[in-house]
Amino acid sequence: MKVLRTPDDRFESLPGYPFAPCYTEVPDGEGGSLRIHHVDEGPRDGQIVLCMHGQPTWSYLYRHMIPPLVEAGLRVVAPDLVGFGRSDKPAAREDYSYQAQVDWLGSWLRANDLGGVTLVGQDWGGLIGLRMVADDPDRFARVVVANTALPVPVGVTEERAAAVRAFREQAPTPSMADMMKALSSPDPERPERSFAYWQKWTWETEDFPIGMMIAGMVDGRSLSPGETAAYDAPFPDPSYKMGPRAMPSQVPTLPDDPSVEPNRRAWELFSKWEKPLLCAFSDNDPVTRGADEPFRERVPGARGQPHTTIRGGSHFLQEGRGEQLARVVADFVRAS
């Protein structure tokens, strides 16, 4: 496995991100190793809040939440997924899969021997984090899901699946405007087709503008030029972007996607999960609209919890509503 490592000087003097780096070596699955970066702030004996980011962000996304969580007496641990942030970046598309990310971060979790953990998962941070919980439930005390899902496609016929495959394999690369339109106004009858625009555009746009994309999906504040640049910092050139490009295609939207069965097995665990689970979704995220309902309806530990709908914030609510989300998390840990 060819692995790229972003030079340290790319992360110097990033606005609002003074945190010291921590590193863990984990097996890469091919006889080598990968270095995973994480932030670790707050009292060593504090209850651990594990903040998991998604695509195409990194732990920089949690910079507004870390200080108030630490002030609440919590220990905040925020890793970068492999291929993102300060973590190592495998260079080939086939190196990335949903299962590989679960395996890598699961190894990282065990290597750091974290226990009594409160998971905060957003976007891919939820998809991966929830599978980590299902694989190692005794390490987790509670879960916060925020603008995320544990997807298992339902009602997608073979005809619909074939249409998505044909679109992804044969259609011209959609324009950025077409992709944004599909994401912002998904077809409720065929959501897999709408999401395919994002999957196809990210994969076929070799140097897609990560910082600009994130800035355009934040509601409640505007990112400064320095903050936008910080989201581009992990990627000195397009060869470093294989993780952000590859991961959208790993979301299981079709019945034969390889992660459908592992996600079904994870739902079997969560259908019996008695520990507290809280939903904290923003009210204006078209990507995950309605994804909180399965958690509220199917997870025993979600019953009676103070589920929160955060007004505004859009998809990356840690940017637009970070301090509010931090209060929700701190109150949830304190109360449960």
* Contact criterion met (CB below 8 Å) for 82 and 243: yes
Q: Are strands 117-122 and 140-146 parallel, antiparallel or unpaired?
A: parallel
* Contact criterion met (CB below 8 Å) for 197 and 183: yes
Phi then psi for residue 142, to 5 deg, are: -165, 170
Phi then psi for residue 12, to 5 deg, are: -80, 135
Q: Are strands 22-27 and 33-41 parallel, antiparallel or unpaired?
A: antiparallel
CA 2, 252, 113, 29 torsion-angle sign:
negative
Helix (H, G, I), strand (E, B) or coil at 26: strand
CA 164 to CA 169: how far, in whole Å? 9
Options 95, 135, 219, 285, the catalytic residue: 285
* Contact criterion met (CB below 8 Å) for 227 and 276: no
Closest CA to 14 of 201, 165, 227, 156: 227
The question of whether 95 is a catalytic residue gets the answer no
Closest CA to 41 of 72, 14, 6: 72
Closest CA to 234 of 65, 52, 82, 69: 82
DSSP string for 181-212: HHHHS--SS-HHHHHHHHHHHHHH-TT--HHH
Q: For the chain, how far is it from start to end, CA to CA, in angstroms?
A: 43
Q: Copy the structure tokens of residue 60.
A: 């920089």
The question of whether 37 is a catalytic residue gets the answer no
Options 80, 88, 123, 219, the catalytic residue: 123
The question of whether 103 is a catalytic residue gets the answer no
DSSP-derived secondary structure letter, 144: E
User: Which residue bears the tokens 């637009």?
Assistant: 320
Active site residues: 123, 285, 315
